[in-house]
Structures are given as structure tokens and as C-alpha cells.
Structure 1
Amino acid sequence: MELTLLGTGAPDGLPRHGCPCAACAAATGDAARAATALLVDGALLLDLTPGPAFAAARAGHSLTGVRQVLLSHPHDGPPLEYPAGLPAPGRVPDGRELALISGHRVRAVALDSPGTGYEVTGPDGGRLLYLPPDGAPAGLTGPTAPALPYDLVLLDVVRRPDALARLRAAGAVSATTDVLAVHLGHEVPPGPELHRRLAAAGARAVPDGTTVTVGEYHFVPDLPRRTLVLGGARSGKSVEAERRLEAFPEVVYVATGGTREGDPEWAARVALHRDRRPGSWRTEETCDLVPLLAAEGPPLLIDCLSLWLTDAMDAVGAWDDAVWAADGRTALRERTAELVAAVRATRRTVVAVSNEVGSGVVPATASGRRYRDELGRLNAAFAAECEHVLLVVAGQALALRG
């Protein structure tokens, strides 16, 4: 089964007409995208967006062989254009199946938002799933659940990473499933950042007009086993770390800061982080990281190492100059070495966050300078065991390794 992406953009396309934003300004050449529409084996057209005949011709195809046109968008979706000779567009009711004379079978998939998803099985047995903008499957259990992983899934990865997480949790997306991001609009980051972000979710994007063979293997970099995300205060480092795992179910969020009684500002910070996380994630409030790293289980998101260091320095009395000189330094270095060794040996996927300090004002106290120095050493040692290291500056992620 062959699939040609006549468009890969949001309903308004990319760039959006008259929009001066950075994403629209950068959307030239292959980055320019018409509204998403798919041509399956020249016989089935999914979504009838403006300019389909021209888009098909530009991709080296014709619409003369199309036998069925199906709509996925809500009834108040983008405007439709009806080229002469095409059959009237329709919509399959949720849960119903349509058999085409071309040998394709189409089943409508219920969503958690307006619109219709489509599961298409080709004459050769290849299977794909296509979801409209902002759509995620409403149910993936029971008799309507997919028996096997799809060969190809096309969905709104940027705005609905939770949809991809649901599909993974249900076994509908596996390591061999080709995940294509579609419905890309001006909310997506411009330039290479889009492809870096999609790769972190195990997905990819292709230019308009691309033809793919369903079931054909396409290399997408695996999520690195260990990632360290560094950044200053309010740089966006925690958001970046969360983004790297938001398309995966059953993440364990390790909060090293705990709770602080009688501190409403800290409570507000914790609530902000909690509200931002997917509901399927589990939270562990602990600084005891070594057992978690040694155990089997789902990915860990550790936020953050700087608070872990604060706890470790509390435990060994490192803030006191006399204790530090006596045995505090040795005790802290032993704790740090134990953590770094656990990171080196872990078989879990780990994304850790830490503050990058020391680039500004020198702390006024010896204990403050001690903390700054030890955090720098910890970051360097932790980063040495990671396949991927990022520095986030003003919300922009810069790859230092990997």
C-alpha cells in the first residue's frame, strides 16, 4: 500500500495567510505545507482540502482513479474544494467498516474530540491509522482495539502527544511503527527544531508530495537511554525535559524538591509542574535516586539534580565549614560517585534536569561558593554518562551531545 501526502499542514496551512509570526516567516520551500490530505494507492482520498488536483499533479499523481473520498475533520472544518470527476465526499460512522472495490477496507475510529479517525487496511494487508487535527482515539480496548500494531500512524504529534502515548500504551504503536506528524501549523517551532522535537517522540515529518510505502522501515533515532537537560532559572529546561517523554505512557516523575510546609510560593511552583504533566504519569517525591535507577521500570524524569545536591549537602553537613573540612567533602563526593555509577549502570530511560550555575555573580559566602562548585562537578560527572546533553537558553534547546 502506497500513501502520498498531498499536504501535511494544519487546516489553515503553513505559512498561514497574513500571519507575521516566526514559524510562518520560516515556512518556505519544503517547510511550506498545505492542509493535510492523503491519497492511498490512487484510489482513496482522505480529506478534501483546497487544491487537491494541483497537489496530486505536483506529486506526480492523478485523481482520476479515486473511487472514494472520506472526510475526517469536524463538520465545521476547513473549506472543501470539489474537483470535477471526483465522487462526492462522505464520512463513515464511528465503528463502521467500509469495503472498497479497490480492495481496501476502512474502519472509522471514534475520537475524544469532534471528527473521525480512519483505520485503512490495504489489499496487501498493510495497516495505517489516520487521525484529524487535535484528535486522539476515544477507546483502545475491547472488540474495537487493534489486534496488532499499525504499520503507519499519521496524527497531530505536536499538539496531541498524549494521543501517541495512548496508542503506545495499547500496543497500537510499536518500535516498528512509522509515525508521521501531520496537521503541522504555525504553532510548531521553525526550522530544525521541529525535527529534533519529533525525533524525541519517535516520529518524523516529511515534505508535501512525499510518497511512502506502508510497512517500509524508516530510521528514526531512538530516545537516548540517558539525557541531561541543563539551563538557568525559568529557561524552559523542565518543559524541555517533559516534552521529551510526553509521547510515552507510564513515566515516573521524580520530584526531588518535596513539599515545604507554610511556603505558598513553593506550593504554587509545584502545582504548576503537576498540572503540566500528563495524567498517566506517576510522581515519586524522593531524593533516593540510586534504587530507582537500579530497578526495572518505565522512564524516569528526575527534576532536579540541584535539589538532590541540596539534600545531599544537608545530609553530610556540608554547609558548615568545619564539617566540610573534616569529612563533609569526602562524604558528599561518595554520594555523588554513587549516583553517577547508578546512572552509568541503569537500564531505564532517564531524563534528568539540572541548573547551570556559575556564569553570573560569585556567591558572597563560602557555603554558597561550595554549592556552586559541587553542582558544576555533579553536572559534569552526570553529563559524562549521558548519550544526550542539552542546554536550554531562553526556551531554546541547544544540543551539547547527541
Structure 2
Amino acid sequence: MDVTLLGTGAPLGLPRPDCPCAACATAVGDEARAATALLVDGALLIDLTPGPAFAAARAGQSLAGVRQVLLSHPHEGPAMEVPAGLPTPGRVADGRELALLDGHRIRALAVDIPGTAYEISGPAGERLLYLPPGAAPAGLVDGNGVAGGGYDGAGGNGPYDLVLLDVLGRPDALARLRASGAVDAATDVVAVHLDHDVPPGPELHRRLAAVGARAVPDGSALVVGEYHAVPDLPRRTLVLGGARSGKSVEAERRLAAFPDVLYVATGGGRDGDADWAARISLHRERRPSSWRTVETCDLVPLLAADGPDGGAEATDRPVGSPLLIDCLALWLTHVMDEVGAWDDETWEGGGRKALRERTDALVAAVRATRRPVVAVSNEVGSGVVPATPAGRRFRDELGRLNASFGAECEQVLLVVAGQALALRG
């Protein structure tokens, strides 16, 4: 089954008309996008893009063979034309199926906003799922599928070969599809409905790759079931940054499209500290409601948990729910408290050795873990030299920990002014 994307943008397109924002200003060439529309095997058209006949011609396609035109969402963009000779656009009621004479089957699925998702099966059994802009599946059924007749793990349909959705606008939709088994590591996830709230330029593609998705230019042809284009996800990522740099937001963003995330808060609470309580509250409000949270500095058992039972196959991919550790600087503070590292005499009398043993154990656990891990840490080596021996000791030890931890990570990022710079990966 072949899919040609006549457009990949939001209903108003990208750039938006008369919009001066940075995303619109840089949306030129392959980054300029018309409203999303799909042409499937030249016979089925899902949604309309401005000038669909010209868009098809630019992609080397023709609309002459289209036998069905379906709409997925209430149209909010510029006026759309229906070229002469095309069938009148329509919709399929949620839960209903439509069979085309050429062997395609279309099933309409409920979503959580006005509109309809479509599951399309090809004559050879290939399957794709298309969600309208800003939409997520209306529900999951006991982890076995999308409510309303979509993916059914119990029925043996297996994961979709291709999923097209608003990845950055609704990462929770992708997380729910992953939780149900409708999306797995072999599913090609393509971002569509791209609007001017996406980051401009290469940053868009970096963010998508970090959650296992990609974007393609208008006019791209996709082969449903092709595996080679699926991004490889790093198992371990270290996100560094200064105060209020956006490092925690970057770390959270990288896992927003995955289910069952365990947020590991190493800071705990501080009685009577209103500012600290406000910071904790802000972090909690920002996280997806489906994430679990644990407050602990005992990281080694968490990194070792949910590992594989054995076998060569298990070593190729992450195993277990993802961990987000925020942050290593607070973990180090806790451990230095425990080993008495702040006191010069204790430090020289065994504190240094005890701290090395604890940090070595953590780094070894990161090296051996099978779980996806995103860890946050402060980058403190670029500022003023601390005035006290204890302050300088903490700065030096955190620098050593960051270097050792980062050496075991496939990706290391430095966040500056909200911009993530890739140091590795």
C-alpha cells in the first residue's frame, strides 16, 4: 500500500498567512506545508488540501483514479476546492466499516475531539492509522486496543505498520497507542498537521526523532510497512543545563510520547520552604497525569529493575518502563550528606572513598540497565568559583559524575536558553 502525502501541515498551513513568527518565517522549501491530505494507492483521498489536483501532480500522482474522498475533521482552514470528477467528500460513522472495490477496507474510529480517525487496510493486509489534527484515540480497552473498533491485541491484528498523527501537539496520543500495542518499535510514526507552534528548522526533526517519529515534506510517497525509516531511540540520555535553562522541560518532552513513565524525584520535600514547594508543584503540574512519581535517591535498584530474563534478543532493545531521573545534582547532594563529604576531616578520612564507591555503583548501574533512562543534571563548571572548600568539592564531584554518567549514555544534550545542543548522539 502506497501513501502520498499531498500536504503535511495544519488546516491553515505552514507558514500561516500573514504570520510573522519564527516558525512561519523559516517555513520555506521543504519546510513549507499545506493542509494535510493523504492519497492512498491513487484510489482513496483522506482530507483535502488547497489545489489537490496540482498537489497530486507535483507529487507525480493523478486524482483520476480516486473512488472515495473522506473527511476526518471539521475544516478550519482556507476554502477548499473539490476538483471536478471527484466523488463528493463524506465521512464514515464511528465504528463502521467501508469496503472499496479494489480491496481497501476503511474503519472509522472515535477520537476525543470532533472528528474521526481512520484505520485503512490494504489488499495485502498492510494497516495504517490516521488521526485528525489535535486528536487522540477516544479510549483504550484494557490495553487491547482503541475503543470503537481499532487495534485489537486480543484479535491478533498486531501493531499498525504506519501511523500518521499530530505527534508534537498530542504526544499523549502516541503514548496511548504504544500502551495498547497499536504502535511498536517497527511502526513508522509520521508527524502531520504541523502548525506554527512547532520549533523551526532542524529542531523539529530532532524532537520528533527523540520520540521515535519523523516528518517528511509535502508530496512524499510512503510505502506502508517499510521499516528502514523508523528512528532508533537511545536507551540512555543525559540532559545537562544551568538554572532555568529548560533542561527538565527537555527531559520531560523526550518521554511525553511513551507510556508508563516513572518520574524519579531525587529532591524530596523541604519542610517550611515555600519556594521549594512551589517548584515541586510546577513540575508535577507539567507532567502527564499518567506518569508515576517516586521520591528517592536509591537509584541503583530502579535501574536494575524490569531487566530482561535473558536471551540474546532482549539485549537489542530497551526493556521495562522508562525512567526520568531529576536530578543527579540533588542525588549527589544527598550522597555527600550521607558520607560526610562536607567536613574536611571526614572527607579525607574516608568520605572521598565512600563517595567514589557510591558514584561508581550508579555509573555501573546505568551501564548495565535495560530500561530507557533520561537523566537531568546541572552543569556547574562555567560559573563563579565557589568561595568555600565544600562548595568547590561539590562542583568538582558533580563535574566528575556528569562526565562518568554521560560516558555511558548514547545521547548527551546541553540545554542553553531553552535550546538543546547535542553533545553526543
Q: TM-score when scaled to structure 2? A: 0.92
Task: Compute the displacement of 1:78 (Å).
Answer: 5.5
Q: Distance in 2 between matches of 1:81 and 1:140?
A: 36
Report if the CA contact (8 A) 1:168-1:174 is conserved: yes
Are residues 1:204 and 2:180 paired?
A: no
Are residues 1:218 and 2:228 paired?
A: yes
Other structure's SS at 1:107 match: strand
The count of corresponding residues between Structure 1 and Structure 2 is: 402
- Shift in CA distance, 104/58, structure 1 to aligned 2, threshold 3 Å: same
Q: What's the CA shift string for 1:363-395, capped at 9, x where partnerless? A: 111111111111111111111111111001111
Letter in 1 for 2:250: E
Residue of 376, 384, 391 corresponding to 2:399? 376
Report if the CA contact (8 A) 1:4-1:211 is conserved: yes
Other structure's SS at 1:248 match: coil
Residue of 253, 272, 282 corresponding to 1:262? 272
Letter in 2 for 1:134: G
Q: Distance in 1 between matches of 2:395 and 2:378?
A: 10
Query: What's the counterpart of residue 335 of structure 1?
Result: 358
Q: Distance in 2 between matches of 1:251 and 1:216?
A: 28
Report if the CA contact (8 A) 1:49-1:78 is conserved: no
Are residues 1:45 and 2:45 paired?
A: yes
Letter in 1 for 2:79: P
Are residues 1:367 and 2:390 paired?
A: yes
Query: What's the counterpart of residue 95 of structure 2?
Result: 95
Q: Distance in 1 between matches of 2:96 and 2:383?
A: 62
Are residues 1:59 and 2:82 paired?
A: no
Q: What's the CA shift string for 1:294-349, capped at 9, x where partnerless? A: 11131111000000001001101111122112221111111111111111111111
Question: Percent of pairs identical after alignment?
Answer: 79
- Shift in CA distance, 66/145, structure 1 to aligned 2, threshold 3 Å: closer
Q: Distance in 2 between matches of 1:74 and 1:95?
A: 18
Q: Distance in 1 between matches of 2:417 and 2:26?
A: 19
Q: What's the CA shift string for 1:69-107, capped at 9, x where partnerless? A: 111112656633221111111111111111122321111
Q: TM-score when scaled to structure 1? A: 0.97
Runs of 4+ in 1 over 3 A off after TM superposition: 75-79
Q: Distance in 1 between matches of 2:125 and 2:369?
A: 39
Letter in 2 for 1:400: L
Other structure's SS at 2:177 match: helix
- Which aligned pairs between 1:125-204 and structure 2 lie closer than 5 A? 125-141=125-141, 144-147=149-152, 148-204=158-214
Are residues 1:85 and 2:85 paired?
A: yes
Query: What's the counterpart of residue 20 of structure 1?
Result: 20
Residue of 366, 380, 386 corresponding to 1:357? 380
Letter in 2 for 1:345: A
Q: CA RMSD in A?
A: 1.3
Other structure's SS at 1:164 match: helix
Q: Distance in 2 between matches of 1:97 and 1:205?
A: 29
Q: Distance in 1 between matches of 2:270 and 2:368?
A: 32
- Of 217-226 and 392-401, more deviation after overlay is shown by 217-226
Other structure's SS at 1:30 match: helix
Q: What's the CA shift string for 1:112-136, capped at 9, x where partnerless? A: 1111111111122111100011000
Q: Distance in 2 between matches of 1:75 and 1:226?
A: 41
Are residues 1:346 and 2:356 paired?
A: no
Report if the CA contact (8 A) 2:265-2:294 is conserved: yes
Q: Distance in 2 between matches of 1:153 and 1:207?
A: 16
Query: What's the counterpart of residue 237 of structure 2?
Result: 227
Report if the CA contact (8 A) 2:109-2:148 is conserved: no
Report if the CA contact (8 A) 2:140-2:180 is conserved: yes
Letter in 2 for 1:342: A
Stretches of structure 1 that go unaligned for 5 or more consecutive residues are none
- Shift in CA distance, 65/145, structure 1 to aligned 2, threshold 3 Å: closer
Other structure's SS at 1:16 match: coil
- Which aligned pairs between 1:294-309 and structure 2 lie closer than 5 A? 294-296=304-306, 297-309=320-332
Query: What's the counterpart of residue 412 of structure 2?
Result: 389
Are residues 1:123 and 2:128 paired?
A: no
Stretches of structure 2 that go unaligned for 5 or more consecutive residues are 142-146, 153-157, 307-319
Report if the CA contact (8 A) 1:35-1:183 is conserved: yes
- Shift in CA distance, 267/78, structure 1 to aligned 2, threshold 3 Å: farther
Letter in 2 for 1:266: W
Q: Distance in 1 between matches of 2:225 and 2:365?
A: 38
Task: Compute the displacement of 1:358 (Å).
Answer: 2.0
Q: Distance in 1 between matches of 2:298 and 2:44?
A: 55
Q: Distance in 2 between matches of 1:24 and 1:273?
A: 30
Q: Distance in 1 between matches of 2:360 and 2:177?
A: 39
Q: Distance in 1 between matches of 2:126 and 2:116?
A: 20
Residue of 281, 285, 288 corresponding to 1:278? 288
Task: Compute the displacement of 1:140 (Å).
Answer: 3.0
Other structure's SS at 1:48 match: coil
Q: What's the CA shift string for 1:39-89, capped at 9, x where partnerless? A: 011111100232111100111111111111111112656633221111111
Are residues 1:69 and 2:92 paired?
A: no
Q: What's the CA shift string for 1:254-299, capped at 9, x where partnerless? A: 0000111211211111111111111221111000001111111311
Q: Distance in 2 between matches of 1:93 and 1:219?
A: 33
